[in-house]
Amino acid sequence: MIFIFHIFLHTHPSEEAKKKKKMEWIREGVDSIKSIQLRQTLSQAVNLGLILTSALIIWKGLICITGSESPVVVVLSESMEPGFQRGDILFLHMSKDPLRAGEIVVFNVDGRDIPIVHRVIKVHERQDTGEVYILTKGDNNPKDDRVLYAQGQRWVQRYHVMGRAVGFLPYVGWMTIIMTEKPIIKYIIIGALGLLVITSKD
């Protein structure tokens, strides 16, 4: 059948035959591009999506388990030295247990966007409501934190507190500090990673 077809084409190139040949050629070309490049690009995109979403799942899962909106924080200041140095990371946990003196808490102050990680030195807990009024101080600071609180605020309360520090790893947080203080490095790393993903063979 094909032999006859070829003979037909080569010996009688009619208008219809020419058109058919062109259509076939176009279809073949489109098919070949589709099959290789589209599949590869799609599978790369799915892989990337899988990596990103599993990272997100782990992060959100940690938020649920620890009960804290920010389960891992990086120490930014020297106010808790020599115990916590700049660049260390702290693992936070927020349980329903009452806040007590000596605990290291991470809390927000109205008007400040970076939370503070200091130790509780005074606690006053109300008989009737169980509400607690705490005063904090950094181990390495000469004075307590009242100067850091918002205008007119004399105590920190439970709703300010994001979590208690329960564990710690040294040095691991330096990457975050470098990327925050020199954002150009963040862009270089993201650019390099992006290039790696695109140019990798699988």
Site for other proteins contains 127 (CB under 8 A): yes
Taking CB under 8 A as the binding criterion, the range among 1-9, 26-34, 48-56, 102-110 that sits at the site for other proteins is 102-110
Site for other proteins contains 191 (CB under 8 A): no
State how far the Cα of 44 lies from the Cα of 67, in Å rounded to an integer.
35
Q: Is 88 one of the annotated active-site residues of the chain?
A: no
State how far the Cα of 169 lies from the Cα of 178, in Å rounded to an integer.
17
In the set 68, 88, 145, 160, the catalytic residue is: 145
Site for other proteins contains 122 (CB under 8 A): yes
Q: Is 144 one of the annotated active-site residues of the chain?
A: no
In the set 68, 79, 88, 160, the catalytic residue is: 79
Q: Is the dihedral of CA 173, 177, 121, 154 positive or negative?
A: negative
Q: Is 79 one of the annotated active-site residues of the chain?
A: yes
Tell me, letter by letter, the H, E, C secondary structure of 31-58: HHHHHHHHHHHHHHHHHHHHHHHHHHHH
Site for other proteins contains 121 (CB under 8 A): yes
CA atoms within 13 A on the CB side of 17: 10
Q: How far is the CB of 125 from other proteins (least distance, A)?
A: 4
State how far the Cα of 107 lies from the Cα of 151, in Å rounded to an integer.
16
Q: Which of 13, 170, 183, 194 binds other proteins (CB under 8 A)?
A: 170
Task: Please tell me whether residue 93 adopts helix, strand or coil conformation.
Answer: strand
Cis peptide bond N-terminal to 82, omega within 30? yes
Taking CB under 8 A as the binding criterion, the range among 45-53, 54-62, 123-131, 174-182 that sits at the site for other proteins is 123-131
Interface positions with other proteins (CB under 8 A): 82-84, 100-104, 119, 121-127, 130, 133, 139, 144, 165-170, 196
Residues recognised as catalytic: 79, 118, 145
